[in-house]
A and B are shown apart, each in its own frame.
Chain A
Amino acid sequence: MSKGNLTRRGVLKTGAVAGAGLALPTYLSAAGHEGFTNAPTGSTVTLGFNVPQSGPYADEGADELRAYELAVEHLNGEGDGGMLNTFSSKALDGTGILGKKVEYVTGDTQTKSDAARASAKSMIEKDGAVMITGGSSSGVAVAVQALCQEAGVIFMAGLTHSNDTTGKDKRANGFRHFFNSYMSGAALAPVLAANYGTDRKAYHLTADYNWGYTTEEAVKSSTEAMGWETVGSVLTPLTQTDFSSYITPVLQSDADVLVLNHYGGNMVNSLTNAVQFGLRDRIVNGKQFEIVVPLYSRLMAKGAGANVKGIFGSTNWHWSLQDEGSKAFVQSFGTKYGFPPSQAAHTCYVQALLYADAVQRAGSFAPCAVVEALEGFEFDGMGNGKTLYRAEDHQCFKDVLVVKGKENPSSEFDLLEIVEVTPVEQVTYAPDHPQVAGGSLGTCNNGA
């Protein structure tokens, strides 16, 4: 039995030629023919969009899918071209990728690593996808990234914020455009110090899993560097819905800032509960009590309603940015769907374009060629200013937005206002920084 793992489409095309007209069974294996998994041989290329379509992040997943559909349109030369017009690399020309029309398949990650891997595997084994992208949590991103490494396809991560994705769990075939916990902490701390002073006592509520740990660590170390003191930190179960029993001890402590290292439903509930308990009306140590949410998302802010007003957090991108890239993207997304895109949509759209561009520049779909083209790639015009895909860990380094819940929203999408665009220098860290240390990229894998 020869090695012929994880390919289908390529074999079919070759097989169809070899066995044309003959009803003879043709025994074939892909090994050595194209040199990498799912090499596209026809006039089309298939990408796999693996997003949560059921479960708590389904709305975020739906927005990601919208962005991917838009990206495919633009790559194939339909629509107004969106960010292709503002992207600093001009390799893409609206004729697909390397002249092949872009097609796509979709799957449901259910925000579970098992389901996400099953879905990604079916895209690779059954549909012949040459790249997998998407996702809305770090657990899924890390799991699918490892799978893609093994299978020999490229993984372009969607929304994943944990340091681990490009830290101890990094893989050569995986790339992340989204920012991470470290960057959130580094961007937030100076703004917090400027607004709330350097003499503050912080209390952390942290989701009891990997992402929560890295976020707490990042925010803690960067605020402590500003002179803040951390007076308490409690881990809360993922399945918690009512946070009252975690919030009331804050009343007893002498903390004057509450940091909620929560995301999704956890964040909506803990923030709502904290406001209910009147934390924002408190005066402690002669100072106004404040709440901070390190990772904001507009969709989640919507779930928390009026409770987000005036609360600081960080985000990867926001539709109200006024650079050319963001404007072009918001324009084409808004025209197609009738509302502005979320940060999840933005990062997914950009990831799809970056992949296509890297293939175009490399002149090949082979993962190792794509990896080479992306490593150390500098670009602009994608909404985050000058950006670098660092070769050492496949993490994008770019400006980070510090945002605040808007006091007087003009529409249901206008919930956050940008307080500061933190320049990239301030959020850059060394690849061996203790918060991201460990693990290694390994070598790129072409599979097959």
Chain B
Amino acid sequence: MDAIILQILNGLDKGSAYALIALGLTLIFGTLGVVNFAHGALFMIGAFCAVTLSRLLSLSHKVEVPGAVDFLGNPQMRDVPYIYDLFGESLGAGIIDWAVPLSILFAIPVMILIGVIMERGLIKHFYKRPHADQILVTFGLAIVLQEVIKYYYGANPIPTPAPSAFVGSFDFGALVGFEPRTIIYPYWRLVYFAFAALIIGAVFAFLQFTTFGMVVRAGMADRETVGLLGINIDKRFTIMFGLAAAVAGLAGVMYTPINSPNYHMGMDFLVLSFVVVVVGGMGSLPGAVLAGFLLGILESFASMREVIAIIPGINQVIIYLVAIVILLTRPRGLMGRKGVMED
């Protein structure tokens, strides 16, 4: 029983990452009709926003450590961040410690800017081009972005820990009467889940309750008619692209303490998130979120020892197997609309 509860928690957590990325993909796809293979790269750049900020905060100068020598026999140097000089050592250390949450503030403008530049500079010219061309150009862009990051940050994962206040885990089991320390969950993963729920809620509220959102939804349903009504839908679509980039970027920022970011993390997520979007149904935002959580939970269950013992290798293929079953029983995924991306 407790094992199952834990796997549901795991699934929700994995699902949040899938859902956030799939949400951004669907936003772009639903509004602009563009298959964006660079979306994984946006997720990755978000993560590197956090890396960059924590590096900026820890920019330091060298101070000689008296009496010690380094591996070549030269005097040992110690790094002292400039921020210590500015704010004193304890406050400075505190700021560095909180680099990841602070990166949210840093990442939002950066990601919106990147999104808008991408849309205006490149994607805009591909609205009327075949999907194959869109795939090729965004895939090319993804490789370029990835290689640029690799050039500056290397190929190794870069540890980017959560603030020390969030280290450790929350004992769920004790709360509901299980033995202590059997159902525990790391604080940061709970934060990630809450954060994802918040972002998803905000995006839905934005689309549902604002005039802007209404126009965008109308544009998603029938772009031509909205244009005929004299509404400048293009400008709104640009903003939507920026928004989608920001959602992907924030997903990346918050993901860094869970797994150390590396330059190819975007590609690792790309294929999975496409599967999630399609299983959810092309162009359906609730579908994307639902599919994200569903696949996350199923993946967690499939990784249990008891399950693998019955069907060896099931943990390797579960997501694809579920995708096939769903697509064969529900022709347009869970909540897809008829006629979208079917030709």
Residues on A close to B: CB < 8 A?
54-59, 208, 232, 234-237, 239, 241-242, 244-246, 248-249, 251-252, 265, 268-269, 272-273, 276-278, 281-282, 299-300, 302-307, 319-320, 330-331, 334-335, 340, 410-411, 413-414
Contact = CB atoms under 8 A, between A and B. Distances in A.
Nearest to A276: B186
Given A244-B10, A252-B2, A330-B71, A59 B154 contact: yes
Contacts of B156: 59, 299-300, 302-303
A302 B154 CA distance: 12
Contacts, number: 131
Contacts of B76: 410-411
A240 B289 CA distance: 21
B68 A278 contact: no
Contacts of A245: 7, 10-11, 14, 299-300, 303-304
Nearest to B146: A54
A278 B258 contact: no
B105 interface: no
Q: Which of B150, B156, B264 has the most CB of A within 10 A?
A: B156
Contact of A241 (B6, B72, B150, B265): B265
A320 B158 contact: no
A208 B316 contact: yes
A304 B159 contact: yes
B119 interface: no
Q: Which 3 A-B pairs have the closest CB atoms?
A: A305-B159, A58-B155, A303-B157
B186 A277 contact: yes
- Main SS of the interface on chain B? mixed
Chain B, interface size category, equals 35 or more
Contacts of A251: 6, 181-184
Nearest to B309: A234
Contacts of B182: 251-252
Interface string B254-289: 000011101011001100000000000000000000
A237 B313 CA distance: 9
B260 A305 contact: yes
Contacts of A413: 71
A42 B27 CA distance: 63
Interface of B: 2-3, 6-7, 9-11, 13-14, 17, 68, 70-72, 76, 150, 154-159, 161, 168-169, 181-186, 188-189, 258-260, 262, 264-265, 268-269, 299-300, 303-305, 308, 315-316
B303 A234 contact: yes
A276 B299 contact: no
A246 B303 contact: yes
B262 A56 contact: yes
A237 B7 CA distance: 17
A272 B268 contact: no
A334 B305 CA distance: 46
22 contacts: A55-B264, A56-B155, A58-B154, A59-B156, A208-B316, A237-B315, A239-B268, A241-B265, A242-B13, A242-B17, A244-B14, A248-B3, A252-B3, A269-B157, A272-B159, A273-B258, A277-B184, A299-B156, A307-B159, A320-B71, A410-B68, A414-B71
Contacts of A208: 316
B292 to A, nearest CB: 13
Given A56-B262, A242-B14, A252-B182, A265 B157 contact: yes
B170 to A, nearest CB: 10
Nearest to A283: B181
Given A55-B155, A59-B155, A208-B316, A265 B169 contact: no
Given A242-B14, A245-B299, A340-B71, A276 B316 contact: no
A303 B158 contact: yes
A331 B7 contact: no
A282 B181 CA distance: 8
Contacts of B260: 268-269, 272, 303-305
Contacts of A277: 169, 184-186
B308 A276 contact: no
A278 B166 CA distance: 12
B169 A278 contact: yes
A263 B154 CA distance: 18
A57 B264 CA distance: 11
A272 B257 CA distance: 9
Q: Which of B68, B189, B265 has the most CB of A within 10 A?
A: B189
Given A236-B315, A242-B13, 6 more contacts: A58-B150, A234-B303, A277-B184, A302-B156, A306-B159, A411-B70
Nearest to A267: B157
Given A208-B316, A245-B304, A276 B189 contact: yes
Contacts of B181: 251, 278, 282
A265 B300 CA distance: 20
B304 A249 contact: yes
Contact of B71 (A234, A276, A304, A319): A319
A119 B143 CA distance: 21
A369 B199 CA distance: 67
A287 to B, nearest CB: 14
A252 B161 contact: no
Nearest to A299: B156
Given A56-B262, A248-B10, A410-B76, A278 B159 contact: no
Contacts of A248: 3, 6-7, 9-10
A273 B186 CA distance: 9
Nearest to A234: B305
Contacts of A59: 154-156
Contacts of B14: 242, 244-245
A239 B188 CA distance: 23
B188 to A, nearest CB: 7
A268 B184 CA distance: 21
Contacts of A276: 169, 186, 188-189, 258
Contact of B259 (A58, A241, A249, A281): A241
Contacts of B11: 245
Nearest to A320: B71
Contacts of A303: 156-159, 260, 262
A322 to B, nearest CB: 11
